[in-house]
Amino acid sequence: MNIFLHILSFIAISIAGNAMKNKLENQEKYIKKLEEEKIKMESHRRLYRVSADLAHQLRNPLAVIFSSVQLLKEGKNNDELINMISDEAARLKSLANDFLLYSRPSDAPLEKVDIVDVIKVLTVHKDKTKQLILDMENSAIIHGNRTYIEAALDNIIKNAIEAARSCVIITAKTEKKYVQINIEDDGPGIDEKEIDRIFEPFFTTKKSGTGLGLAISNRIIGNFGGTIGYSKSEIGGANFMITLPIYEGE
- State the 10-residue block means of pLDDT for the chain, 250 residues long: 62 68 71 64 60 68 81 78 82 76 72 94 86 92 91 92 94 92 94 88 74 87 93 92 86
Are residues 121 and 49 part of one domain? Answer: no
Spatial neighbors of 98 by CB under 8 A, at least 6 apart, are 210, 212, 213, 216
Are residues 132 and 223 part of one domain? Answer: yes
Residue pair 240/229 in contact by the 8 Å Cβ criterion:
yes
* Inside any domain, residue 71: yes
Are residues 208 and 161 part of one domain? Answer: yes
Are residues 189 and 117 part of one domain? Answer: yes
Measured CA to CA, the distance from residue 65 to residue 76 in angstroms comes to 14
**Sequence-separated contacts (24+) of 85-90 with Cβ below 8 Å:** 88/61, 88/62, 88/64, 89/61, 89/65
Are residues 26 and 49 part of one domain? Answer: yes
| pLDDT (0 to 100) of residue 1 | 54
What one-character-per-residue DSSP string does 14-54 give? HHHHHHHHHHHHHHHHHHHHHHHHHHHHHHHHHHHHHHHHH
Count CB atoms within 10 A of the CB of residue 71: 15
Angle, helices 115-123/146-163, rounded to nearest 10 degrees:
50
Sign of the CA dihedral with 71 first, then 73, 74, and 78 last: positive
Residue pair 192/213 in contact by the 8 Å Cβ criterion:
no
pTM above 0.95, yes or no: no
Angle, alpha carbons 200-206-207 (nearest 5°): 130
Domain span at residue 193 reads 108-245
Are residues 94 and 122 part of one domain? Answer: no
* Inside any domain, residue 185: yes
| pLDDT (0 to 100) of residue 122 | 92
* Inside any domain, residue 58: yes
Are residues 241 and 128 part of one domain? Answer: yes
Measured CA to CA, the distance from residue 112 to residue 140 in angstroms comes to 10
* Inside any domain, residue 70: yes
Are residues 139 and 85 part of one domain? Answer: no
